[in-house]
Structure 1
Amino acid sequence: MSDIVNGLGRTSAYGALGLVLLVLGIVLVDVLTPGKLPKQIWEERNRNAAVTLSSALLGVGGIVFTSIWTTYQDFGKGLLSTAAFGLLGLVLMAVAFLVLDWVTPGRLGAIVVDPEPHPAVWVTACCNLSVAAIVAASIA
């Protein structure tokens, strides 16, 4: 019975950490784009913003999953490494967004919140997922 209780405690801790990292991902995308992201997605139904945010959330989820899957036997060390790799993934996705914005024409943030579908959003999404995959691979 103590194994189940211990497992539930660890799952709760990893779940809470994962939720914090996902919220940070939402905040990060909101900071990188003009306007209010929740309004763009939920009120204005902006698909560009939704694809960009979704890719960031999938990326963070992949990093957290990989970190938990390959976690250290020491629970505290595993939780700390998950937080560290999750935060690093968020920072690297933000840097990749800024670099992509720098090397391409136009303002990427403005494109993301444009109501008209734009192919640059798919490039941004792929960039997010690629950075997350690189971070996840480095964990294993």
Structure 2
Amino acid sequence: MSDIVNGLGRAGAYGALGVVLLILGIVLVDLLTPGNLRRQIWADRNRNAAILLVSALLGVGGVVFTSIWTTYDDFGKGLVSTAVFGLLGLVMMAVAFIVVDLFTPGKLGALLVDPEPHPAVWVTASCNLSVSAIVSASIA
């Protein structure tokens, strides 16, 4: 029975950390794009903004999953590792966003929240998922 209780405690801690990292991902996307992200997605039904946010959340989730899956036997060390790699994934996604913005015409953030569908959202979403895959691979 103590194994189950111990496992529940660990799952709760990793789950809480994952939720914090996902929230940070939402904040990051909101900071990188103009306007209020929550309003753009839930009130204005902006698909570009939703695709961008989805890709960031999937990326963060992938990094957190990989970090937990390959976690150290030491629970504390595994929790810290998950936090560090999750934050690294977020930072690298922001850097990729900034680099793509530098090398493309116009302001990327404005294109990505335009109500009209724009192919740039798919490029940026691909960057998010690719960066998270690279960070995930570095964990294993």
Superposition TM-score tier, normalisation by shorter sequence: over 0.9
User: What corresponds to 2:139 in structure 1?
Assistant: 139
Identity score, percent: 80
Does the alignment pair 1:49 with 2:49? yes
Partner amino acid, structure 2, of 1:131:
V
In structure 1, C-alpha distance between the alignment counterparts of 2:82 and 2:2, rounded to whole Å: 24
Counterpart residue type for residue 91 of structure 1: V
Q: Which runs of 4+ in 1 moved over 3 A?
A: none
Shift in Å, 1:127: 0.2
Q: Distance in 2 between matches of 1:113 and 1:132?
A: 22
Give CA-to-partner distance per residue, 1:22-72, whole Å, 9 cap, x none.
000000000000000000000000000000000000000000000000000
What residue ranges of structure 2 are gaps of 5+ in the alignment?
none
How many angstroms apart in 2 are the aligned matches of 1:48 and 1:134? Answer: 24
Q: Distance in 2 between matches of 1:21 and 1:128?
A: 15
| 1:101 equivalent in alignment to 2:101 | yes
Structure 2 match to 1:6: 6
Whole-Å separation in 1 of the counterparts to 2:69 and 2:88: 17
Q: Secondary structure at the match of 2:34?
A: coil
Q: For the aligned residues, what is the CA RMSD?
A: 0.3
TM-score, normalized by length of structure 2? 1.00
Aligned mates of 1:45, 1:112 — CA distance in 2? 13
Gaps of 5+ in 1: none
Question: How many residue pairs are counted as aligned between the two chains?
Answer: 140
Where do 1:59-74 residues align within 5 Å?
A: 59-74=59-74
How far apart are 1:86 and its partner, in Å? Answer: 0.1
Give the structure 2 partner of residue 88 of structure 1. 88
Which secondary structure does the structure 2 equivalent of 1:39 belong to? helix
Look up the SS of the partner of 2:118 in the other structure: coil
Residue 111 of structure 2 aligns to a residue whose secondary structure is: helix
CA-CA distance at 1:81 after TM superposition: 0.2
TM-score with structure 1 length normalisation?
Answer: 1.00
